[in-house]
Chain A
């Protein structure tokens, strides 16, 4: 059986005549080229990282630089003798349920304007806006005892004064502010009104809370709809759907849906939710519905991928001990797929949070001076608010726009951090 012409012997002959020169010049050159290519690629990648980091740093720097000013405000002192001005109104009158009505009957506006007139004379119109008196009204509501006193109240100054306090503006307001400052009649502080108020016409008095609350409600609606529907759709498509043309069609449709421009979802919402179903216009409910439509395909795709990546051995193991298909999905597949599904949800929700165009289509760009109280109240969201403010003529809105962007970013980061925390908690290895 020792055949001399066996392949083994011819192989030996080939090895014997091996002629590759591993140490020759050509080989060394080839090695050098390979190393060079490797280095080039490494530096290219590194430079890409550096460039994108620079962009990000620049963006953050500019945003925070501009926006941080939006969080402070300038107030000017006005002495008011309430006791004489109101003709001896007692604090008890503006306590309790009838406080609002009692205040309205007191003509606070007149009292304040008179006090301003007395204190600043001709400059009054340059320092205060017509609505400055509302600060007094709010102060009285929280501290009724003030009504019987002769006291000094701090009123939010006009946006121009505020800007004069922060940086260069035209000389007239600079001079005015300097005068006030020297007299100790101007002070700067954290702008709580910005975090608690809603939109307005005077940049010094606008707030972000209305838009933030609108965003939160809208996101909750979106999450409540898109997450369960998306996950269930993903589970059905992965675990139950027979593989046929209809399933293929649905799969392609969902993939396409994820790529549809967002404004088209806005049009869809306009036609379906507002015209046909006659849901309230500008409401967080409709906004949430539209964004849920937009987010769902992303969750379905991410969900399917992560369900698919659950090792089949786990499914087999569960089936092997006699788990029913539903038990397999809910006891084993979904818990293991959850981190992936949540990643998809984070991406989808982050996109929805930043969405402006479809919400403009369904009227969520209304000028609202009070935060929404529920799902069906007219509301706006952060990106739309930013868009609206960026369009304003008054230069005071520039810093407000940046401040709103900071709020939006913080909201986004908080949401993501929470989702990542949840994901890591549920993450299991196999």
Chain B
């Protein structure tokens, strides 16, 4: 089912403008989260502490935006008593804002590691991280696009493609562990890179959460249990 209800407007026009304002805010908070990811990765690559600080500053704005969206959603639910599609969309918006804020937190967490990672070390597996970040960021972008266009199919695709980020994580995890076994001196930095990979993987998961919310908002149904590959958040569970 891929219906859009933008075709008809509400009899109460102000409701429509409330909803479109909230969509705009979600687009903004999403944009900031994506920007945080890319800045954090750039800071990491260039060991740029100023850039890292900018990510931390950006996160404060993300937090403020989340708070604003939450307030607006609660207000709209109280005042407009939304039903059906509107109710689902508002609930989705409320949850998405929280999830996107978490994504911002992960980006901030990456940026914070810039200062403590010894830049001169050459850790081969870490070179995969920018590509992984690219994939995760793309997931976030697509999930937010699905939200903006109320596209259930795209949301479904996002959930499907989370597997790519998970695969990245498994690969990086294994090769980093191998690398650290071979180079005990690199264990400190390697652990940081491990956490960064973990953060990127969580970003991908949260993108999936956003997509699930979008799917629910659009279709009224949960996306359902699907084959998700491994659960890489638990290393013990990873492939033998």
Contact = CB atoms under 8 A, between A and B. Distances in A.
Direct chain A–B contact by Cβ atoms under 8 Å: yes
Interface of A: 1-2, 6, 8
A185 B122 CA distance: 159
Contacts of B17: 1-2
Contacts of A8: 13
A12 to B, nearest CB: 14
- List the 6 closest A-B pairs by CB distance, nearest first: A1-B20, A1-B16, A2-B17, A1-B17, A2-B20, A1-B9
Contacts of B9: 1
A6 to B, nearest CB: 7
A2 B20 CA distance: 8
Contacts of A2: 17, 20
Q: A interface, by DSSP: helix, strand, loop or mixed?
A: loop
Among B13, B16, B19, B20, residue most surrounded by chain A Cβ atoms (within 10 Å): B13
Nearest to A7: B13
Interface string B1-33: 000000001000100110110000000000000
Q: What secondary structure prevails in chain B residues at the interface with A?
A: helix
Given A1-B17, A1-B20, 7 more contacts: A1-B9, A1-B16, A1-B19, A2-B17, A2-B20, A6-B13, A8-B13
Contacts of B19: 1
9 contacts: A1-B9, A1-B16, A1-B17, A1-B19, A1-B20, A2-B17, A2-B20, A6-B13, A8-B13
Interface of B: 9, 13, 16-17, 19-20
A193 B202 CA distance: 121
Nearest to A2: B17
A232 to B, nearest CB: 53
Contacts of B16: 1
Contacts of B13: 6, 8
A1 B13 CA distance: 9
A6 B17 CA distance: 12
A6 B16 CA distance: 13
Nearest to B16: A1
A247 to B, nearest CB: 45
A8 B17 CA distance: 13
A146 B20 CA distance: 118
Contacts of A6: 13
A2 B13 CA distance: 9
Which of A1, A6, A8: most chain B Cβ within 10 A?
A1
A1 B20 CA distance: 6
B199 to A, nearest CB: 36
A8 B16 CA distance: 14
A95 B19 CA distance: 112
A93 to B, nearest CB: 106
A84 to B, nearest CB: 115
B23 to A, nearest CB: 9
B175 to A, nearest CB: 49
Contacts of A1: 9, 16-17, 19-20
Contacts of B20: 1-2
A1 B17 CA distance: 6
Nearest to B20: A1
B67 to A, nearest CB: 23
Nearest to B23: A1
A43 to B, nearest CB: 51
A77 B16 CA distance: 109
A6 B20 CA distance: 15
A158 B125 CA distance: 150
A391 to B, nearest CB: 80
A5 B50 CA distance: 45
A2 B19 CA distance: 11
A172 to B, nearest CB: 100
A368 B88 CA distance: 97
Nearest to B19: A1
A1 B19 CA distance: 9
A8 to B, nearest CB: 7
A182 B46 CA distance: 151
A2 B9 CA distance: 12
A4 to B, nearest CB: 12
A8 B13 CA distance: 10
A239 B20 CA distance: 58
Nearest to B18: A1
Nearest to B21: A2
A381 to B, nearest CB: 71
A10 to B, nearest CB: 14
A1 B9 CA distance: 9
A6 B19 CA distance: 17
B12 to A, nearest CB: 12
B148 to A, nearest CB: 13
B181 to A, nearest CB: 58
A2 B24 CA distance: 12
B143 to A, nearest CB: 22
A101 to B, nearest CB: 102
Nearest to A8: B13
B9 to A, nearest CB: 7
A6 B13 CA distance: 10
